[in-house]
């Protein structure tokens, strides 16, 4: 994130056009609703889940909005209020597998690979479309596409619907895999 000032000459917040992450300074500032945020959490003991009691995203995670900024995941805001900015390339993960939990003791900073491994290790199923195939399966799916010699032109040995049935995934997964250079495998890294 580029270092820009979020205050105009009158001391009012400017809207960040790119909707990048809000800086830690903005989150902890009294005008952003820090108190409003914590009031929407059912705070219990230090080892208990602190459930988000307000609105939810369609995926079940808590939703909170600062000023005119787009809604953010409540567990991410809780982590940032407690620990500061999230390092680049990292995301906030739950130790407890409770999507509504905002207890900072139940959250940790990890990678996309950590998230995939957590899902697999905890037997939560594979809900992420990008991690629905193993590395060797991705290799096989890519082999079913032939380069015809033209710039960026490919010919397919089989239609995506047929290949998707072979690997038990949605046809759009195969189409997107064929168009991408990097794909997250079940093992937790990109191939």
Mean pLDDT computed over every residue of the chain: 77
Over residues 133-182, the pLDDT tens digits come to 888 898 888 888 765 556 666 667 788 888 889 988 888 888 888 888 77
pLDDT of 14 over the 80 cut: no
Identify the pLDDT of residue 132: 77
pTM for this entry:
0.53
Identify the pLDDT of residue 183: 79
The H or E element spanning position 73 is strand 72-73
Q: What is the mean pLDDT of residues 45-54?
A: 93
Over residues 105-134, the pLDDT tens digits come to 999 999 888 887 777 677 665 444 446 788
Identify the pLDDT of residue 124: 60
The residues that bridge with 110 in the sheet, in sequence order, are 91
pLDDT of 187 over the 80 cut: no
The H or E element spanning position 112 is helix 112-121
| Domain limits, the chain | 24-110, 129-179
Residue with tokens 């096989």: 140
User: What are the helix and strand counts (H, E) for the chain?
Assistant: 7, 8
């Amino acid at each position: 994130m580029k270092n820009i000032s979020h205050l105009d000459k009158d001391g009012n917040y400017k809207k960040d056009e790119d909707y990048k992450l809000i800086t830690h300074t903005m989150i902890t500032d009294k005008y952003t609703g820090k108190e409003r945020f914590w009031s929407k959490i059912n705070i219990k003991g230090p080892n208990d889940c602190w459930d988000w009691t307000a609105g939810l995203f369609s995926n079940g995670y808590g939703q909170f909005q600062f000023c005119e900024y787009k809604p953010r995941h409540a567990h991410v805001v809780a982590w940032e209020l407690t620990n500061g900015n999230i390092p680049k390339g990292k995301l906030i993960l739950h130790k407890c597998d409770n999507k509504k939990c905002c207890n900072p003791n139940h959250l940790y900073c990890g990678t996309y690979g950590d998230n995939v491994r957590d899902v697999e290790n905890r037997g939560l199923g594979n809900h992420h479309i990008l991690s629905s195939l193993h590395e060797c399966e991705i290799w096989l799916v890519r082999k079913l596409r032939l380069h015809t010699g033209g710039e960026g032109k490919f010919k397919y040995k089989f239609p995506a619907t047929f290949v998707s049935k072979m690997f038990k995934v949605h046809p759009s997964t195969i189409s997107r895999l064929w168009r991408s250079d990097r794909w997250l495998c079940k093992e937790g890294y990109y191939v």
